[in-house]
Chain A
Amino acid sequence: MEHVRPSTLDEALEGLAAPDAKALAGGQSLLPVMKLRIVRPSVLVDIGRLELGGVHMSENELRLGALTTWNELESAQELERPALAALAECASGIGDLQVRNRGTLGGSLAHADPASDMPAVVLALGAQIVLRAASGERTVSAEEFFLGPFTTALGPAELITEVVFPLVEGSGSAYVKVEHPASGFALAGAAAVVRPDGGQSVALTGMGGQAFLLASDANPVDALPDAEIYGDRFAPVEYRRHLAGVVARRALDRARERMEGTGE
């Protein structure tokens, strides 16, 4: 296995053109699967030196670089507002401090673990994901991005560079999960956004093969047929279905409290 550490995006994309090449960001998902010998990249393209970090806030949008770590999200003062509170709330509940110091937003979205937390938040906040390949840049919505368990719209030699969140002034957001007792991943997680015009969005994660946005009139408990709900000893199907309703309601309540300034 080859290990390269490019300093420009173009070099990185060039490295990724090799068959079975893999980008390495924080390594918090990739290294564990390599250790289990499930993934054996021919080339490991360490993107850690690329300028893909940073929290950039403008008047009507927030841009987060793909290499933004959970810890940076947790502690970024720009995000301390009801409209974006779900981001820090979600990040602070991921793994432990060591994981949050290394793990990145881009890595998590690209990995698309069906039980991972942040996909729900990205979906509920209506984010756009910016992708770069040697052939150029494209933008896909969060909804178009997640295709199934560990499967996304990302091409083989493509990188996430940024995630762009529209800012809806006066809205409130929240993320609530029931944790897996060992891994801390979501047995069921819900991100909610409540807008002053009365609109709301809820996205669920941990329920089945991928995080998804709930239709505006859907009852979270009935969002998925039994066959699509994951069931295991940590959360049998019936329990997980029930949890969807609990986390969705709690996330909505908290988002509303934040919007109305009645919460923390």
Chain B
Amino acid sequence: MSESVIGVSRPRVDAPDKVTGATHFAADGHVHGLLHARLVLSTEAHALLQRVERDAALAMPGVVAVLTADDLPLASAGSDRTTEPLARTEVVFAGQPVALVVAESEAAAEDAVEAVVVEYEPLPAVVDVEDAMLPGRALARVLEEDAGGGDLESIHAGVDKGQEDGEEEQLSGNVLDTVHRNAGDATALLETSDVVVSGTFRTPWVYQAYIEPQVATAWLEPNETLVVSTSTQGSFVTQRELARAFGLPLERIRVIAEPLGGAFGGKLALMEPLAAGAALALRRPVRVVLTRAEDFQATNPASAQVTHLKIGARKDGTLTAIAARMIVDRGSNAGWGVEGITSLLVAGPYRWEAHEIRGYGVQTNRFTFGAYRGPGAPTAAFALETLMDELAVELELDPLELRLQNAVVEDDVGVSGNPFPRMGAVEVLERIRTHPLWQSRDSLPDNEGVGLAAGYWPGGNEPAAAVCRVNQDGTMTVVTSAVDMSGVNTGFAAIAAETFGLSPDQVRVVAADTATGPYSGASGGSKVTYTVGKAVLKAAEAAREKLLAAASDELEIAPADLEVVDGVVRAVGAPDHSITVAEISGKALRFGGRYEPIEGHGGSAQTRGAPSVAAHLAHARVDRETGEITLLAHVIAQDVGRALNPALVEGQMRGGAAQGIGWALYEELVHDENGQLLTGSFLDYAIPLAERVPDIDTLIVEVPAPDGPFGAKGIGEAPVIAAAPAIANAVAAAVGIRLRELPMTAPRVWATLEESGA
């Protein structure tokens, strides 16, 4: 065999086009007769829509239409963003789209937006999520609408809702969902534990901050097929959502996922209903492109959360019980929230003898909640890993040894009630233990500290299929409908090349759409390499069988005695007896050809999860006078199953850690008491700029996933999770204070230092 392509770093297959500007993004496509839509956004957080005055806008040059919800051919009532892309009668957050101005040019549409006058009858804005839960409180939505019932929740991580709840808690109608996970008598166990620590932790709304704002274009083909070309994480899920919105059969909707300019969970069927609705109403092509300001206001960031957490342990460091009450601010999202997943992940990669965990999904008049890399996980880890550190201090145990002692191993039953699959929690902690930064933690200058934290992501599953086609020249084309996010296509090329016997540069990966491609779920939930990658592997195997059958015929050697190396089929042990893949394919793909096309179809239906776990070390310096935190170094050790392409894996680890640094120190969407967004631009909303992110040391740990392609597992979400608590623990090590709220901004750090007198 030639050298394996698995485990070898290679550039991303999409890199040259992206670097040279050749990539065609969703806003770049030329569509004949295209109209441009701009959104009229609600200026009120909560109000009844009285009137939309459109005459002045319609009178402006180039303006074609001003559309409100009634003008869109929506199928049914509903209060999610799919079924209610424009507010009908009740506005539920500031920035909610209330009308679309459609014009011959973007400029004309933008000018006309100002001329649309919307009259509101204001209602009280519900912005305090904890207060909103109390019985009798004002509701964030006063008119009854059907809650919808879309398909979007399952994309990220299918988690159950825990046990049926026997006890009745008095809650307001703002509480849309409750989750109860419980085993053993956590309350009693906490009372008798040697050490108990507790705290209330707050995390804000956080924006995905993808480079490419949301964009979708829609038009009708002469045969009435609705075509939507869009920047999305999933074509099939978007197709289903559009069918639900407009009551159309699936076959009448074709969704084309264009190359993605970043998404991180935020691009799932948000703009498509608007573009499609306008195209259906006007029977002309319509494009919606958000400006950055609109994208800040009108999209679906990660929800804010309040976590009350208490954990206990015995003197010897054995964890006893965990009790949590987790309040998730869903904003206007009636369809789903992260209370299910966050109430699972708050237990961390540790064993507990008893647990009592409640999660609440609460509506408020803030945004629409959406997914963001590891939904619900960074928030859960911030709470748990801070308390784990405090527990170590109380127990006078080393924080790493405490975690190691309690880390789950295969078959330990988690708070989901299910046994953990094999996951490298122990392995990543052991890798950190020997790192020089951890070794040097007690000999740092004043006001510097090193903090540790760990967190895992369960991963997701969804059946998927792929096709591997060998071309006449012996190269291979891999066809999937997965959106190339975080480099998955590059992984597919390696999987197909290794399985079939080509070099990766002989493999092209193309994205098909809902009309032409094999099925794939949305890119999200850290499931694409694990599920679609597995389908690619099987498709390549199937193609290889066809190849060997034909080669066997040509060489008169049994298939079992043949091998494929770098595009050549040869007899094992007698390499002179050979024929190239190109020759065989040439004999197949021609008039009167002798062989079936060398082409394979493969599918996967993973049932076992393949969780990925990561441990972080952060080295921080605190300026006691200003409260500013400077990160000096950051280390991440992650169990990635098998690093198909280490360079890409490290890129994911670095990017995740950087976004975790954003959670820790910078990012916060803030509303005032009236629900008006105060941080709606990059002049107010801080993200971790390159100059503020230290070198991130990446330690790849490989604990193979039994069902993954070559042992690979999903790795995209795990690296963001525990970065923030590692930094918080570093701050504690540096100056002895514990922050209970993210981000740890300079004024917060300063105020906490002042209070503590430290």
Contact = CB atoms under 8 A, between A and B. Distances in A.
Interface of A: 37, 178, 180-183, 187, 233-236, 239, 242-243, 246
A239 B683 contact: no
Contacts of A233: 670, 678, 747
Given A182-B666, A187-B746, A239-B747, 14 more contacts: A178-B626, A178-B628, A181-B686, A181-B745, A181-B746, A182-B679, A182-B685, A182-B686, A183-B683, A234-B745, A239-B746, A239-B750, A243-B626, A246-B626
Contacts of A178: 626, 628, 746
Contacts of B666: 181-182
11 contacts: A178-B628, A181-B686, A181-B746, A182-B666, A182-B683, A182-B684, A187-B746, A236-B747, A239-B751, A243-B626, A246-B626
Interface string B725-758: 0000000000000000000011100110000000
A143 B678 CA distance: 33
Nearest to B682: A182
A50 B414 CA distance: 71
User: Which residue, of A37, A182, A235, A236, has the highest number of chain B Cβ atoms within 10 A?
Assistant: A182
B625 interface: yes
Given A181-B686, A182-B686, A242 B670 contact: no
Nearest to A235: B747
A254 B670 CA distance: 36
Nearest to A37: B114
B269 to A, nearest CB: 29
A81 B665 CA distance: 36
B678 A242 contact: no
- Give the 7 A-B CB pairs with smallest separation, nearest first: A182-B686, A181-B686, A183-B683, A239-B747, A246-B625, A178-B626, A182-B684
Contacts of A180: 686
A246 B623 CA distance: 11
Contacts of B685: 182
Interface in B638-666: 665-666
Contacts of B686: 180-182
B108 to A, nearest CB: 15
A221 to B, nearest CB: 12
A178 B687 CA distance: 17
A242 B750 CA distance: 10
Nearest to A232: B678
Interface residues of B, number: 21
A231 to B, nearest CB: 10
A6 to B, nearest CB: 27
A236 B749 CA distance: 13
Contacts of A242: 750
Nearest to A185: B683
A37 B626 CA distance: 36
Given A178-B628, A243-B626, A246-B626, A234 B747 contact: yes
A70 to B, nearest CB: 16
Nearest to A233: B670
A183 B625 CA distance: 21
A99 B120 CA distance: 40
A235 B679 CA distance: 14
User: Which residue, of B682, B685, B747, has the highest number of chain A Cβ atoms within 10 A?
Assistant: B747
Contacts of A236: 747
A183 B686 CA distance: 8
A246 B624 CA distance: 11
A236 B750 CA distance: 11
Interface in B3-29: none
B387 to A, nearest CB: 27
Nearest to B684: A182
B555 to A, nearest CB: 61
A83 B97 CA distance: 55
Nearest to A249: B625
A178 B114 CA distance: 37
A130 to B, nearest CB: 31
A239 B750 CA distance: 8
A37 B114 CA distance: 10
A37 B107 CA distance: 13
Contacts of B750: 239, 242
A99 to B, nearest CB: 12
Contacts of A183: 683-684
Contacts of B747: 233-236, 239
A32 B565 CA distance: 58
B289 to A, nearest CB: 15
A262 to B, nearest CB: 21
User: Which residue, of B678, B683, B746, has the highest number of chain A Cβ atoms within 10 A?
Assistant: B746
B666 to A, nearest CB: 6
A180 to B, nearest CB: 8
User: Which residue, of A181, A183, A239, has the highest number of chain B Cβ atoms within 10 A?
Assistant: A181
A138 to B, nearest CB: 34
Nearest to A183: B683
Contacts of B679: 182
A213 B683 CA distance: 27
A16 B683 CA distance: 30
Interface string B289-333: 000000000000000000000000000000000000000000000
User: Which residue, of B625, B678, B685, has the highest number of chain A Cβ atoms within 10 A?
Assistant: B625
Contacts of B683: 182-183
A182 B627 CA distance: 16
A33 to B, nearest CB: 12
B465 to A, nearest CB: 44
A235 B746 CA distance: 8
A203 to B, nearest CB: 19
